[in-house]
Each structure stands twice: as structure tokens, then as C-alpha cells.
Amino acid sequence: MKRIFDEVYGTIELDDASVNLIDLPEFQRLRRIRQTSLAYIVYPGATHTRFSHSLGTYYLTNKIGQRLVHEGIINQDELNVVKVASLIHDIGQFPFSHAIEAYYLKQGLGNKEVRDLLLRGSFGDSLSNYGFDPREISDIFSGSSLLTSIIDGDVDVDRMDYLVRDSTHTGIQLGRIDLDRLIFTIMYKEKGISVRDKGIISLENFYLSRLHMYQAVYYHKTILGYELFLTNLYSRLLEECESIEVKDVRETISNQTFPYWDDEWVFGSLYKCYRENPNSDFAERIKDFLDRRGPKVVFDEISYNEKDDSKFREATETLNRVIPEDFLYPYEESITIFDKSRISIISKEVEVTVDRYPTLLQSIPEKLVIRRIYVDRRFVDRAREFM
Amino acid sequence: MKRIFDEVYGTIELDDASVNLIDLPEFQRLRRIRQTSLAYIVYPGATHTRFSHSLGTYYLTNKIGQRLVHEGIINQDELNVVKVASLIHDIGQFPFSHAIEAYYLKQGLGNKEVRDLLLRGSFGDSLSNYGFDPREISDIFSGSSLLTSIIDGDVDVDRMDYLVRDSTHTGIQLGRIDLDRLIFTIMYKEKGISVRDKGIISLENFYLSRLHMYQAVYYHKTILGYELFLTNLYSRLLEECESIEVKDVRETISNQTFPYWDDEWVFGSLYKCYRENPNSDFAERIKDFLDRRGPKVVFDEISYNEKDDSKFREATETLNRVIPEDFLYPYEESITIFDKSRISIISKEVEVTVDRYPTLLQSIPEKLVIRRIYVDRRFVDRAREFM
Amino acid sequence: MKRIFDEVYGTIELDDASVNLIDLPEFQRLRRIRQTSLAYIVYPGATHTRFSHSLGTYYLTNKIGQRLVHEGIINQDELNVVKVASLIHDIGQFPFSHAIEAYYLKQGLGNKEVRDLLLRGSFGDSLSNYGFDPREISDIFSGSSLLTSIIDGDVDVDRMDYLVRDSTHTGIQLGRIDLDRLIFTIMYKEKGISVRDKGIISLENFYLSRLHMYQAVYYHKTILGYELFLTNLYSRLLEECESIEVKDVRETISNQTFPYWDDEWVFGSLYKCYRENPNSDFAERIKDFLDRRGPKVVFDEISYNEKDDSKFREATETLNRVIPEDFLYPYEESITIFDKSRISIISKEVEVTVDRYPTLLQSIPEKLVIRRIYVDRRFVDRAREFM
Amino acid sequence: MKRIFDEVYGTIELDDASVNLIDLPEFQRLRRIRQTSLAYIVYPGATHTRFSHSLGTYYLTNKIGQRLVHEGIINQDELNVVKVASLIHDIGQFPFSHAIEAYYLKQGLGNKEVRDLLLRGSFGDSLSNYGFDPREISDIFSGSSLLTSIIDGDVDVDRMDYLVRDSTHTGIQLGRIDLDRLIFTIMYKEKGISVRDKGIISLENFYLSRLHMYQAVYYHKTILGYELFLTNLYSRLLEECESIEVKDVRETISNQTFPYWDDEWVFGSLYKCYRENPNSDFAERIKDFLDRRGPKVVFDEISYNEKDDSKFREATETLNRVIPEDFLYPYEESITIFDKSRISIISKEVEVTVDRYPTLLQSIPEKLVIRRIYVDRRFVDRAREFM
């Protein structure tokens, strides 16, 4: 057993099996991938990593899991497996998470696919050596069992940890959730969750925190702009200086250099590329990124449903005509906040749907739709002229 | 004016002059230098940067400074200058701070010299453009005025901020200090500080926290081992792959690429070096570092005075004979905890020395002496054999 | 100036005028009135008092007020007056707040009336002696100026402080609000408030916290039961042992014994009454209260609108027939959460109504309606039989 | 099982046996005895009670105890008993703790004796009914076993809880201790404690926090003055209005009215006494107490050893001649901070004494001696004249 200091929970105890997994290079890599990508540009304290988030997720799984074992809902073996799954759930994350994943996703490779590749490769072998079946863990990730619900099921330990952790590091209170109460009133099912009426306000609070954190951090105007900028720089980087396409990612996994493909690698490569040709146009843009001269929003529309994207389309078309493609970043995303149909409430031993119980959940929007257009700083005036 | 979220103080307000300075690439660079170097290896949350520490130091300077202006001890102009000085006090820090500085210090280049070079170069020009006199600021750093005491005088804003900030991020309570009380009872003088009797326990607490943080974080057994390892790897890196000697550092300052010499650059360079020659002995050691297989302590001695280093010398000599130089890291450091002669206490309007007032300060050790010998993992058994 | 430690904000600085007011017996009395009445029965840490809440309210007024002075919206004199008003806003609170106020309200005497009586009596004279005009302060309380909005206008400093303070003391996270952001984005007007779009999520958060704190603390099932029990015991106490009717309250104010009519007085009187006749039926009920054998809920209905109270009425009528009046507490309350019409949002320099901006405020219920029936423990079975 | 919100630890889980004990009137009484007596006069947030402290102590016992069971040092039965003992350890506390206890201690009745009387009376019977042996618990309190060390052995759960809890409520950081680390590195023995070298700084921190809290809270100049004032008023109260001498306390226990002898009773009695004779000299002093016009310090001497009390004696004698006894409060107390001989350190599997290990414990003073003379406000000038 090992004890690790955690800035959120105080101390996290790791059992011996987990200590072994943590020592693997693929897990150590997570120390070099920031949890909230470029959010530190706006919230300087948000430099925490997928490593500490993974430990935190493990910690919560253990806490909820022990309750479920105690209540006879899962057994100790299942707890052990879901603990491992929660520990390694982010093993396939890309450098700078979604910003770089965006590049590969277009070609069908996302972090879940990478995780699967790792589980089927030497990382999976290590799991086997330590007595875990990589396929069983893979099944939790892809399945729809109760165990899946715990780590990837809306009100899951992954989200619980990151809401609290990201709140702590950004210094904003909005994301604080009532973890203690939630942990003891939530019940996982194969399809969705239920919550006892005592815990309903904790669940409301969870969804509201999430909604607020989307707005204050994950889709923050400035942060998102820098992430789009980085996605753009990355594709240029691959064209001009480095070559790490989908097949190369696969190769890093098989030749075990994957652990060194991380946030630092991206910065190191930008520096290298910058130095090799310091007077190029690309070098200038790298410098813009590093010196914090990111793109600006010229169109911004937030709504709670997907209807009517006409203004956005129109603006995009207009700007497409007057601004070079490489300097224009239209962005449209429909984020599911929550899915009422997957939640039920247990009141006086009876299970009812959200619609039949007086709760704020009824009025929380199910979707958050963000439509924005960013343009590079040097084209802001031009963009505004045409809008 | 700008408002920045801070994970320690909630919000930090920046005046317009500071906003300008923060936007300079030399300051943005601090976002990419971790405040506590490799401490995150033991405390995963300790990934915060010199950037947020610099903002925090500025915040405290403003808080104490406003009190001093109110009390007629300094004037508004002095406050403005010392605010700028505190904001940029870490501008000359090396990548991974002391770990890399150690390499250059042998050749006479430390972070204060780099700061001076920056102030005399284009960064200084920018200060001038924004209405500040770089020489005046330089004088605060090198001088011994009351203003110097505020930012570099033992119980200074620099240390106040990092004790609290590093406590928050490591999750350990030991470093928490009673900032509020300290800020309102401390008095800066040209040589040292005085404190009103009401505040004496806050001052005791400050020194005790510092002593504890030295042991729990700054000179933590494992963390220090990794830092010595990194210093060693860095000199090897410069021999084999990169060339950035003292004269090159000076050049980065004059050609303005200094802002891109940071933690990420070091990692990026190690990756590059590793890939160029993946089967070399050096590559293997880089991998050890990244995968967290650092050196081990075989000799450990902590004391509160410098006397009697015979055991340490003896052990070093013995090991020198049986372990290759590159795999052996003897370490000896005498850290000044505090200097009684610089502190006085104001009780009933009379100023007395520490010895004449019943306070724990009398019994806090003035020095902490650390003597350790680390060896590379593959030589641990051999080292133990001979000791 | 005086500095007081505060468990929420760290330190509160009081100017000399406030120090004088705090030293008055009428203000010291607030040390002996718990902020959240009987909430400590469920949340043992909630023993904090109106005294610390009053200081906290003063602190926030000063913080917001300085901003408003800086922005030229109010002047320093107005700030001074509103600071005093916020400091003394709770001066007229009854022992155990609403639980005892309920008794006198039926006869037209509430805490606002008592506050007014105090301002017109010797407490007002003290204000005059310290240079404040009691009538001016009275006007702020009763008026509808911008100053009124600050301390009693929905998103006011009173509520901000108690949400944060009550959260801290109950140990529940739900009430935490993003104070820093709210304080800098809210704008007070004569009728209501407006908020800049940057601050909209803080405002949403404020209302949601409030809604949650109503459910988790202020109208918590058990707590409310004990408060109704206490109201009932109090009227019995006045019948049997003490005599302090409306005219007596007025007299305590004129003879200056009002400062000793507080929570402790109520307990002391119950003890006295209990001892004088320890075998009476009333003594038994006092003992029930002290030993925590409170009433039980037999009917519970929460909704977001006032429609359809038929079930509640019917149940009340039924129980009225079978349970003695003294042992039955039907409770119906319609709480206004917020009034959309008083809020506007400033986006891109244009002021719009809540309905025209995508915000959760649109879907937060405007009312919370609580309908409950409590019965004394010894009649629970009988009540359940008839329902 | 029951879950209680705690403002320090978040949630405390109580097993069924404990829930029963908590429901007893003798335990509910602790809700009405403030943990830090009159400290709230200086720290307005310090209104927390022996009730929440008792729950917190139980929580820590359970945490440490589970570790000890896991390590095979105690068994589950012992854990169950020590949990009960820690829950009820403060059951015999007097109203306002030491302030009122001081009155009875002169006649040989302290809180431990009262606890014993309760255990031998009907409270003990209740314990028996719930399956616990009151004598076994009594033995833990009076004995010197390992179990005794846990709840009353210097670095015990009682002190751990109150340091952290009192820190939280006073808003001062000084008392924060590194609980997590301490809990996992401390080892209880029959006589004293030992600690692993890893935990030594947590132990240093514990003692230093304690020393600081003695100065900042428990023996704070103003607070102590009010406590001496209250002790004085109390003896006067018993002379003039109420009669509750040692034999009466014993009677409250046998007739089961003891649960209603608490802080509120003291205030209630003072009010009653005040009203019965509002123009008496005693009434005036009661009013002084309630309106916060306490005694003033005219002599103040703090030292780390007991030697040389000549100045204190001399001053006391002088003042005795010129100030009426009832208005003069000389105070002398020698507080043991820690006893080196009871502590050992385990380093590399060897147990050594504090003197043989480099630790701050060597230089922490073993005693804190406080000598003060307070006089009633109306005699301050006279006292100063003669000193």
C-alpha cells in the first residue's frame, strides 16, 4: 500500500496492484498531460494533470465501490476491476487532450481507440502480468453494465473528480459539488442512474455545476480560441516539421515510445520548428501562440437548443469569402448536459421519472449549443467590417 | 484594470501597467516553468508555475504596500515600483529552477544575473516604454533598502506567497501561514524586520512552516534525488545533443529567443536526443528519468549545525572508489533558516532583540544542514555493500 | 480601526465608527442569537450567531461599496451610511429568529418593527452621538433607493453573507457562491439589479444556491419541525411562566433590558418553568424539546407553484378532527425564489430582460411552495392511521 | 447507521450503538456547552459546542482505530469500546467548561469526577442497556492502557480534533495540523507514543500548533479575563440567587436534571438575578459582563519555565492592599506543552529518544508559564498608579 498526497482529498491510498500500474511508463506519461489543456491561459492555477485526476477518479471509485460492496450490489472482484479501469481510463488521452485529438478524430482515432490499442499491446500485457484481464477492463469501457455506469455514465466518478479538481485549481466556486451526499445517495444501474429523494438536491447541484463549468472553463471564450489555434498549428506542424500521422501513433504504441508523446513533446516540437526557420510565416504564428496573442471572437451565440443556426451559417459564409481559411475558426458544438430519460428518483421506495417529482432537474436544459467564430488577430478588423 | 482568478487568493486585480508587463513574452515564459520544479513527482498537484507565484507575490506586495502607504512609511511611487519589482522578480529563473541553474551557477550565471541581463536588454526597454526605470528596479533587487526587504528580506512577500501556494498544491497543511495577521504586524526596515508582540506567533509560525516545507517539499528525499538526476542529465544533454552554454544563454537574451527556453524545452530536447539514438546508454538514462526510476539515497544525515561532516566525507570517499562518478550524487547543503540578529520585537513601544522576549524564535534552529548521498538504481546494491 | 478574525473571510477591518456601534449592548446581544435558529439540531456546526453574520454583511457592503464609490455611483458619505445600516440590519431580530418572531408577528410585531423601535429609542440616540442620523438609516431600510437594494434587494449583501456563512458552518457545499465574481459584476438600481453578461453564471449560481439552501437548511424537514415545536412551546411558556407580550417587548426597549432577551433567555425560562412544576404536562414537552424528541412529518409536499392545495387542506382537516390542536402543526409557505421582472442583463452595452438572453435564470422556478403537516411524536401512529 | 454533516470532516458516519448514545439527554446537553467557553468574545465564529467536538473525536478514533485493527494492534471489540469512550469523554464537562469548573474544583469536583458519577448512575445504566460495560469504559478513562493513550495521552484524538476544529471556527490558521499524516504515522503505547521518522514533522507541527493555540485562543489575554470574570460572577450568583453547590450537582445527576445544567442555564440565571434586583451592585457587574466591559490586564508575564515568580508575587501583594478582592484576579498557570520522556522516534526500525534524533522537538519548550493580573475596569487607573 502506498499513500499519495492529493491537493483535493488530502491523501489517496493505493493498493499494491495500483502501485504497479502507476509505475508503468504509459501511466507516468499522464503526469505530462495537463488535465484542462490550455485552460491555464485564463486560470493560471489550472496546470494540474491527467495523473492527479486519474488518482482522484480511482479514489472516488473506491469510495463508492466500497459502499456498493457493503450493500451487496457488486462484489469485491468487481470492485477490484472497476478500480483498475477507473485508474487507467485516461491512458489514451492525446497531448493537450481534445485540442490535438481533434486532428486525429477526423481520421477516426480518438482517445478511446488509443486506449484500446494500448490495452491490446504491451500495456495490456503488463496488466495481465499483474493479474488483470485487459479484455475484462476493455469490456467495462465499451459495455453498458453497472460497472460502466460508475466510470462512464453521466454522473460518474470521472466527472465528479474533474468538477471538484478543476474548481480547486481554477479558484472558482461554481464547480464545487456536494460529493459526500452524492456518493451516498446515488445508485448505478445498467442504463442510467437513480437517486434517493434525500440526494436529489446533490444531483441537481451536480448537473448545474457541470453546466457552469462548461461555460466558465471548458468552453470559455478565450480558452476555446487557443485550443482551436493549437489544433490549427498542430496540423501545420505535421506538414512542415514532424510527422506523426495516425499510423505513426499506432507505431509509437507498438515500439513503446508512446509514453513520450505528450504536452511537452508538442511544445518541444514547436520550439524546434520555430528555430529551424525563425523567419517563416509559421514561426510567427508559433510565436503568437507562445506569447499569448490568440484569435478573437467575432461571432458568439449560446443557446439551449439546436434550432436555427442560420445566423451562424451566414456569418461563416461571409467570412469565408474575405478571410483566408487558415486564419478563421468557425466552431459549433452541441453539448448534452443531461438525458432525463436515464435518471429516476426513488421516493418512499417507489421509483419515479424526473417529470413526476418536483425537482430542478425538470428545468435544467438538456443541451448547451455553442456557436462561435474566431479569427486570427490580424484579421479581426477585416472580419468586423463585414459583419 | 484586469481581474485574474487565483487558486489561492480568489481574485487578483492587476493595474494597467502590470497588465502590459504580463503580456511580454519574457513574462509569459513563466507559465512554462514549474514553481516547484520536480516536486510534482511526489506531490502530483504541484504543477503550478512561476507565473501564478509571480502574480501572488504582486498581490501580497500590493496588500502590504497599501498598509505602508497608509502608515506614511513609503509613498505611492515607491509602491508602484516595488509592485513591478515583485511581479518580475522571477523573470530570470532557469528551466526547472535550481535543477538547471545548478549547471550554470558553477560558471557564475545564476537567476539573478539572468534577471539583470534581461533588465539591461530589450525587456528593460519595454519597462522603460511603460514608464518604469529598469535601473531603479534593478537597484531594489541588489540594494538593501526597505523596499528590498519587502521582496527579498527573509520574511518577504516572495516566501509568504510560495509557502501558502506550495501548501495548497501539495495538499499538505504544514506550510499554511497566518498571512492575514503577519501582513498587519510586520514592519520592514533597511536591515531586517521587526514585528509587534501581537504578531509574534505569526512570525514563529512563518519560520516553522518554512522549516517544515524545506523538509517536506524543497529538500524532500525523493524530489531532491530527481533534481540531482536532472542536473546530471542536463550536462550530458549539452554534451551530446544540444549546445546552450553560458554564452548561448546570453545570446538567447539578445536575440529574444530566451522566452522559449523553459521546462518544455528541456523535455523536448531530452525526447529529441532519445529518439536520435534510442539504444545509447544516455537514452536509457533519459528513459529512467521519464519513467520514474530515479536514484536512491544510501546516506542521509540531517542536523541543525554544520559541525562534523566526517561521516559524510568518509562515505563519499568510499563510494567514489567503487561507483562511477556519473552515477553517484553526494549532496551537502547548509540552509539558513533564519538570522536572529536581523529580527527585533516591538513590545510596549520598545524594540527588543529576540533574546530578550519569551518567544519560540529563541529556539528555532538557525540552520538546517542536509547531507545525502544518492546513487543510480543499478548501483544501489553495490553501494550498500561498501557502507 | 479594529481587526476581527472571521471564520469565513479571514479578517474583517472595522472603522472607528463601527467599533463604537458594536460595543453597544443592543449589538452585543446578537452574540446570543444563533444565525440559523435550531438548524444546529441537524447540522451541529451551525451554532454561529447574528453577530458574526452582521460583521460579514458589513464587510461585503464595504467591498461592494468601495467599488461603487470608485465607479462614481455612490459617494463616500452614502457608503458610510450604508455600512452602518448593514451592520445593524439584524438588530431587531427575535430570540431564535423566526421561531419566536412567529408568535409576535400574529400581533403585528416583526423584527423590522423592533428595529424601528430601537432606532427611535436610546439605540438611535447612541447613533446620533456617534454622528449618524437614525432617520437616514431608517429610510434606507424602508426605502427603495439604490442603497436599499444593496442591503435588502434580493441579491443583497445580507443574503450573500448568510449563504456563504451557513454553508461553512453546516459543512455543505451547496450554498457556496462565487462571491468574488458576483461582487464585481452586479449593479444595483433603484428597482432591482442588473448584471453584466460576464457575471451571469455567478448570478445563476447565487439563485440556485439559495434554492438549495432553502431545501437543505432553512426549510429542512427536521429543523422546521423543531422550530414549529418551539413556537408552540413559547406561547405555552408565556401562558404559564413568563409574561412578555408585545407591550412588554416595547417596554424592554424603553427600559433598556431588551439586550438580555435572547436565545439564552428562552432556554433559561424553559428551565425555570420546568423546575417549578416538573411533573406537569408542559414540563414533559419541554423535556421532549431539550432531549430531541421533536414532531414528525406525516404529510410532505413540495412544488414550484401555489396551485392545488387540496390534498394539504384535506389532510389538515382530517387530522384536526383526531389530534389535539396543540400537538398538530400544519405548515404552508410560499417562498419567492426570485422575481424575474427585477433583473436585467447588460450584454454588449445593451440592457435586456432575462427572457431575451440564454440563461438558466429563465428556468429557475420563481416560487418554492412547501406544505407539511407535523404531529407530536405520541400522535404519529394515530395520524398515520387516518391518512 | 446515521450520517451527520460536520463542518470540519464533511460527513461523520455513526454506527447504531453510537446513535443510541447520542440520543441520551446527557449527550444532547453537550449541544448547549460551547467548546471554547467564552472565546467567542474575541473570535465571533467560535460558538461551536462540545457536541460537535465529541462527534469529531469519535470520527478520529474510528479512523486511527481501524488502522490499529488492521495492523493487529487492537481488536474490533477494543475498537468498539474506545469509540464509545471517545464519544462520551466530555460528558462531565461543566457549563462554560473551565470557567465554572474552577469554582467546583476547589471543592474537589472536576469534570472527570462528574463523568464518573454519570457512568455510575443512570447514564451508565443506559450504556449497559446498549451492551456496553460502564466500568470498562471508566477503566479506559482512569487507566494507562494503549486505549487510554488514544483518547487521553498527549497526542490524542481529543486534542487532534479540537486543534483543527477550533482553528476552523476562529478563522486562524495556526492550529491547523497535518492530521492525515499524523494519523498514519503515530503509534500508541502504554506509556506515551512513538512516531515513525516519516511522521516526525507532523508531530512537531502538532506540538507547535498546540503551543500557538494556547497563546492565540485558550489563554488569550482578553478571553482569559472574561473567564476569570465569569468564575467570579458565578460564585456571587450562587451566594445571592441560585444554590447549586457540589452536593446539588450530585443531586442533579441522581434526579436526572443534570442535562439542563448548561451554558444557557448560567445565562438564564444571571438574567433572572439581574431582574430581581436591577439596581444592586451585582446587577451592575452582570451587565458589565453581558455588555462586554470585562477586566483589564495590568501585569503580564509569559515564560517557558517556572522560575522566578517574584515580580508577580510582589505585584499581587501590592494590589491586594489597594484593590478590593472581588475586583482583582491574579492568575498563574504552568501549562505542560509536552513531556519529552513519553515520546520516542522509530527510525530505520530502531526506537530512539527525542534527544538522539535531529528534530525540533528537542527545542520546543516543555512548559508555558502564564502570570497575569487582571483588575475590574473601574480599578484600572488605581492599579496602574501603584505599579
pLDDT in tens, B345-368: 998 889 999 888 888 888 888 899
Boundary-marking domain end, from C183, C204, C222: C222
Asked if B274 has any chain A CB less than 8 Å from its own CB, the reply is yes
Task: Clarify whether residues B205 and B327 are in a common domain.
Answer: no
Residues B199, B318, single domain; the answer is: no
Judge contact between D37 and D215, C-beta under 8 A: no
Point out the domain boundary residue: A198, A222, A246.
Answer: A222
Task: Tell me the count of A-C CB pairs closer than 8 A.
Answer: 57
Whether residue D174 has pLDDT greater than 90? no
Q: How far apart are CA D329 and CA B130, in angstroms?
A: 62
Report yes or no: A364 at the C interface, CB cutoff 8 Å.
yes
Q: Give the up-direction half-sphere exposure of residue D71: CA atoms within 13 A in the CB hemisphere.
A: 13
Beta bridge partners of B332: B371
Q: How far apart are CA B78 and CA B72, in angstroms?
A: 11
pLDDT of residue A357: 87
Residue to substitute from D9, D166, D167, D264, interface C, most C β-carbons within 10 A: D264
Instruction: Tell me the C-alpha to C-alpha distance, in Å, between residue C359 and each of A39, A225, A365, B273.
Output: 23, 22, 10, 52
Instruction: Mark whether D209 and D90 lie in a shared domain.
Output: yes
Contact C173/A172, CB-based, under 8 Å? no
Query: What pairs with residue C4 in β-bridges?
Result: C12
Phi, psi values for residue B372, rounded to 5°: -140, 150
| Segment C321-354, tens digit of pLDDT | 999 999 999 999 999 988 888 899 998 889 999 8
Regarding whether D325 and D201 lie in a shared domain, the answer is no
Could you tell me the pLDDT band of residue D328, with boundaries at 50, 70 and 90? very high
Residues paired with B347 in a beta bridge = B350
Same domain, C193 and C59: yes
Among C107-111, D152-156, D256-260, where is mean pLDDT lowest?
D152-156
Structure-block grid coordinates of residue B207: 519560520
pLDDT at residue number A338: 83
**Closest CA in chain C for residue A178:** C173
Within-domain flag for B161:
yes
The answer to whether residues B134 and B51 belong to one domain is yes
Strand A193-196 relative to strand D367-375, pairing: unpaired
Backbone dihedral angles phi then psi of residue D212, each to the nearest 5 degrees = -70, -35
Rounded Cα gap, residues A7 and D236, in angstroms: 53
A243 lies in some domain: no
Q: Is residue D259 a part of any domain in this protein?
A: no
pLDDT tens-digit series, residues D228-275: 999 999 999 999 999 899 999 999 999 999 999 999 999 999 999 999
Q: Residue D91 region, left (φ>0) first, then alpha (ψ -120 to 50), else beta? A: alpha
Task: Render A107-159 in DSSP notation, one character per residue.
Answer: TT--HHHHHHHHHHSHHHHHHHHTT--HHHHHHHHHS-SHHHHHHSSSS-HHH
pLDDT band, residue D175 (cuts 50/70/90): low
Does residue A286 have a pLDDT over 70? yes
What is d(CA D59, CA D63) in angstroms, rounded to the nearest whole number? 6
Residue D171 banded pLDDT, cuts 50, 70, 90? confident
169-188 in chain B: CB under 8 A from chain D: 172-174, 176-179, 181
Q: Give the best-scoring range by mean pLDDT among C172-176, C179-183, D62-66, D363-367.
A: D62-66
Sheet holding D367-375, edge to edge: D296-303, D367-375, D328-336
Query: What is the pairing mode between strands D186-188 and D296-303?
Result: unpaired
CA distance A31 to chain B (A): 8
Distance CA(D212)–CA(A132), nearest Å, equals 50
pLDDT one-digit tens code per residue, D8-44? 988 899 999 999 999 999 999 999 999 999 999 999 9
DSSP D379: G
Q: Shortest Cα distance from A361 to chain B (angstroms)? A: 30
Q: Contact at 8 Å (CB) between C91 and C126? A: no
Percentage of chain A beyond pLDDT 90 is 78
DSSP H or E run through B98:
helix B98-105
Coil/strand/helix, residue B236: helix
Listing DSSP states for D275-341 in one string gives HHSTTSHHHHHHHHHHTT---EEEEEEEESS----HHHHHHHHHHHHHS-GGGEEEEEEEEE---GG
Whether residue A215 lies within 8 A of chain C, CB to CB, comes out as yes
Q: What is the mean pLDDT of residues D312-339?
A: 94
Query: Average pLDDT for residues B194-218, to the nearest whole number?
Result: 90
Residue C82 pLDDT > 90? yes
CATH of the domain at B303: 3.30.70.1370
Contacts of C268 in chain D (CB under 8 A): 264-265, 267-269, 271-272
User: Across the A/D interface, how many CB contacts are shorter than 8 Å?
Assistant: 12
B119 domain residue, yes or no: yes
Helix axes B76-87, B134-142, angle to 10 degrees: 80
Closest residue in A to C174 (Cα–Cα): A178
Q: How sure is the predictor about C269, in pLDDT bands with cuts at 50, 70 and 90?
A: very high
pLDDT tens column, A229-280: 999 999 999 999 998 999 999 999 999 999 999 999 999 999 999 999 999 9
Average pLDDT, chain B: 93
Q: Is C264 in Cβ contact with D271 (below 8 Å)?
A: yes
Mean pLDDT, rounded, of chain A: 93
pLDDT attached to residue A270: 96
* Sign of the alpha-carbon dihedral angle for B167, B169, B173, B174: negative
pLDDT over 70 at C119, yes or no: yes
D195 close to D232: Cβ distance less than 8 angstroms: no
Q: Which of B180, B185, B201, B202 to mutate to test the interface with C (most CBs of C within 10 A)?
A: B180
DSSP state of C49: B
Separation between Cα atoms, residue B298 and residue A240, nearest integer Å? 48
At B366 the pLDDT is: 87
Q: Are residues B203 and B314 in the same domain?
A: no
Q: How confident is the model at residue C79 (pLDDT cuts 50, 70, 90)?
A: very high
Mark which of A203, A222, A241 sits at the end of a domain: A222
C-alpha cell at C128: 446620533
Q: How far does the CA of residue C11 sit from the closest CA of chain B (Å)? A: 7
pLDDT at C47 over 70: yes
d(CA A347, CA A363): 19
Is it the case that residue D176 has pLDDT exceeding 80? no
User: How many angstroms separate the CA atoms of A211 and C268, rounded?
Assistant: 49
Interatomic CA distance for residues D87 and D157, integer angstroms: 11
Q: How far is CA B268 from the centre of its chain?
A: 23
Please name which of C79, C169, C81 lies closest in space to residue C130, comparing C-alpha atoms.
C81
Q: Which tops the pLDDT comparison, C61 or B208?
A: C61
Tell me, yes or no, if A32 comes closer than 8 A to chain B by beta carbon.
Answer: yes
The yes-or-no verdict on residue D289 having pLDDT over 80 is yes
Q: How far apart are CA C114 and CA C116, in angstroms?
A: 5
Residues D30 and D174 in one domain: yes
Closest-CA residue of chain B to A268: B268
Nearest-neighbour CA in chain A from C365: distance (Å):
8
Is residue B237 situated within a structural domain? Answer: no
Whether residues B209 and B301 share a domain: the answer is: no
Q: What's the average model confidence in pLDDT over A60-72?
A: 95
Which of chain C's residues have a Cβ under 8 Å away from the Cβ of D25? 287, 290-291
What is the C-alpha to C-alpha distance for residues C337 and D77, in angstroms, rounded to an integer? 51
- Number of domain units in chain A: 2
**Which is nearest to C223 in space by CA: C37, C372, C95, C368?**
C37
Three cell numbers written together for A102: 481533434
d(CA A277, nearest CA chain C) in Å: 41
Q: Which candidate, B112, B98, B109, places its Cα nearest to that of B35?
A: B98
Q: pLDDT above 70 covers what percent of chain D?
A: 99
Contact call for residues D67 and D60 (beta carbons, < 8 A): no
Stated pTM of the model: 0.93
Q: pLDDT confidence of A137, banded at 50, 70, 90?
A: very high
* Residues B196, B301 within the same domain: no
Residues of A in contact with C365 (CB under 8 A): 360, 363
Most B CBs within 10 Å, among D8, D43, D176, to test the B interface: D176
pLDDT, tens only, C5-35 = 998 988 899 999 999 999 999 999 999 999 9
In whole angstroms, give the CA distance from residue B238 to residue B253: 19
- Closest-CA distance, D350 to chain A, in angstroms, reads 22
Mean pLDDT of A95-119: 97
CA C171 distance to own-chain centroid: 19
User: Is residue D90 situated within a structural domain?
Assistant: yes
**DSSP count for chain A of H helices, then E strands:** 18, 9
What phi and psi, each to the nearest 5 degrees, are found at residue A32?
-115, 20
pLDDT-based confidence at residue A175 (cuts at 50, 70, 90): low
For residue D318, the enclosing domain spans 296-387
Instruction: Write phi, then psi, for C122 (nearest 5 degrees).
Output: -70, -25
Indicate the angle between helix axes B263-276 and B221-240, nearest 10 degrees: 60
Q: What is the dihedral of CA B131, B135, B138, B140, to 10 degrees?
A: -80
Average pLDDT, chain D: 93
CATH number at D160 reads: 1.10.3210.10
Domain presence at residue C272:
no
Q: What is the reported pLDDT for C175?
A: 67
> pLDDT tens digit string along B113-172?
999 999 999 999 999 999 999 999 999 999 888 999 999 988 999 999 999 999 999 987
Same domain, C18 and C112: yes
Rg (CA), chain D: 22
**Distance between CA atoms of residues A150 and A78, nearest Å:** 12
Assess whether B47 and B140 both reside in one domain. yes
A277 found inside a domain: no
